[in-house]
Copies of this chain bind each other. A is one copy, B any other.
Amino acid sequence: MYVILVYDINEKRVQKVLKICRKFLHWVQNSVFEGEITEAKLFKLKQQLNHVIDPEEDSVVIYTFLTEKYSRREILGKNKAVTDVII
């Protein structure tokens, strides 16, 4: 299945979250990851994130799509995934 993951994390923890997400998904732009992932790996990703984030302060939204068939992806402006180094 296909996943889009966006996060809004306190600066103290954002590097850890970035490292975890990079193991499972592709960096798209600041605080946004996406990619194909199995249910088992998604479970692992969520487990690792839950160990790091502060549920009172941090937020991770995961959109899961069983198929990309009905979806479209457009970029206005710069495609940061191609040009920028992941910060």
Instruction: For A54, give the chain B residue with the smallest CB separation.
Output: B77
How many Å from the CB of A19 to the closest CB on chain B?
16
Contact of A71 among B65, B73, B75 (CB under 8 A): B65
Instruction: For A50, give the chain B residue with the smallest CB separation.
Output: B76
Interface residues in A1-55 by Cβ distance below 8 A to B read 4, 6-8, 28-32, 46, 49-50, 53-55
A77 and B64 contact, CB distance less than 8 A: no
- State the CA gap A31–B28 with chains docked (Å): 13
Measuring CB to CB, which residues of chain A are less than 8 angstroms from any residue of chain B? 4, 6-8, 28-32, 46, 49-50, 53-67, 69-80
29 A-B interface contacts by CB (under 8 A):
A4-B4, A4-B63, A6-B29, A6-B32, A8-B29, A8-B30, A28-B61, A29-B59, A30-B31, A31-B31, A31-B32, A53-B77, A55-B78, A57-B77, A57-B78, A58-B77, A58-B78, A59-B75, A59-B78, A59-B79, A60-B76, A61-B74, A62-B74, A63-B63, A63-B71, A63-B72, A63-B73, A64-B72, A69-B70
